[in-house]
Amino acid sequence: MQMEFNEVYITRTATYFPNEPVSNEEMEEFLGYINKSPSKSRRIVLRNNGIKTRYYALTKEGKSTHTNAEMTAEAIRKMLDNDPVRIKQIDLLVCGTSSPDQIMPSHAVMVHGELPEAGAIEVVSPSGVCCAGMHALKYAYMSVKIGDAHQAVATGSERFSASLKSELFEDEAKKLKELEDNPYIGFEKEFLRWMLSDGASSFLLSNRKNETGFSLKIEWIEGVSYAHEMEACMYMGGNKLETGKLKSYLDYTPEEVLAQSIMSIKQDVKLLSENIVPLGGIKLSKLFKEKGLDPADVDYFLPHMSSEFFRSKIYEQLQKNGTPIPYDKWVINLYSLGNVGAGSVYFMVDEVFKSKDLKKGQKILLLVPESSRFSYMYALLTVC
């Protein structure tokens, strides 16, 4: 007997940002000065990434104001009108992040701990980097699809600011000349410092669409990893050896961890520049063919980008692959929100979902690349 699957809809969305937006001029007041001096590369990196404001769960004294779990719980409460009855109806909680507040317990159970009204429910914590939020969405989608859950919450969130404070970074000033000549050099530690942001977002998934207003039907969610052939590109809590292998922080002494900035976020610039956009286009091209999707049918294209620098690269790759999507269909809020990793695509969906221009039948295409070891997630939503 063939099993019947449910349709799955995103029926509610919400976002939560800590404190007030932080301008480019204020950043170092929150993150601190490396070697007690203003960064010489900040201006160059910001020129390339296009970000104007971002959010930090920090005071100007560098004190934390929110945990990742607290921000995520606040997004969920906001989405459900802070109504204990609605929160109690959740039967699955899936929370993706690359910046949990601790290694153990998992991020999602900590979020659950901030939502006692939910009672005893299933909780799942996808790990990873930018794709973690999409992995959360896919687990929730599949659970509702097969009937294991009826009211599932998926979240994407980050609290990067605690990892961006000056004491965790080495002086990168010697690379200033290289940075002027090659923007990719900026995608090392200092680039990430001027790019990453804090915040949380949540989706409510159901097998029933809203009786009034719009819902977003999830048509499909697909992913791919190229770790079988690619070395790690973005990493934290380890160092990359000449062999390409990562050496874990567990294999360093506490003194080495501090001296070598093992716990700061790093990227292999050469790998990033050569692979992040072309690899992302391979699976997307296949999906257009396999799903019978015409690029002209896409009404909103939501590509997660770490920097404005990549916008033209993605556009050119789409043209090269024969799947062009004009800029007027793109939705990008990187410039005002910064890069919130696992949460960024959620923020873009939230913006579109609450748009006054939304019409039934419109198609929304999501693209989320993850440079850690080159993973990608894709999804198609239909307004209904």
What whole-number distance in Å separates Cα of residue 199 and Cα of residue 210?
A: 26
Place of tokens 């690899």: 279
Average pLDDT on 290-303 reads 97
pLDDT confidence bin for 1, thresholds 50/70/90? low
Residue 150 predicted with pLDDT over 80 = yes
9-206: CATH class: alpha beta
What is the reported pLDDT for 168? 67
207: phi then psi, degrees, rounded to nearest 5: -85, 5
Residue 102 predicted with pLDDT over 70 = yes
Number of H-type helices and E-type strands within the chain = 13, 15
**What tens digit of pLDDT does each residue of 328-358 get?**
999 999 999 999 999 999 999 999 999 989 9
What whole-number distance in Å separates Cα of residue 348 and Cα of residue 302?
A: 7
What whole-number distance in Å separates Cα of residue 216 and Cα of residue 351?
A: 13
DSSP 112-172: HHT-GGG-S-EEE---SSTTHHHHHHHHHHHHHHTTS-SEEEEEEEE--GGGSSGGG----
User: Angle CA(363)–CA(365)–CA(217) in degrees, nearest 5?
Assistant: 55
Mean pLDDT (the chain, rounded): 92
What whole-number distance in Å separates Cα of residue 337 and Cα of residue 127?
A: 22
What is the reported pLDDT for 171? 42
Average pLDDT on 29-39 reads 83
Q: What is the pTM of this model?
A: 0.93
pLDDT confidence bin for 259, thresholds 50/70/90? confident
Assigned fold of 219-226+270-383: Peroxisomal Thiolase; Chain A, domain 1 (3.40.47)
Residue 175 predicted with pLDDT over 60 = no
> Among 26-30, 203-207, 363-367, 378-382, where is mean pLDDT lowest?
26-30
Average pLDDT on 350-377 reads 97
Residue range(s) of every CATH 3.40.47.10 domain in the chain: 9-206, 219-226+270-383
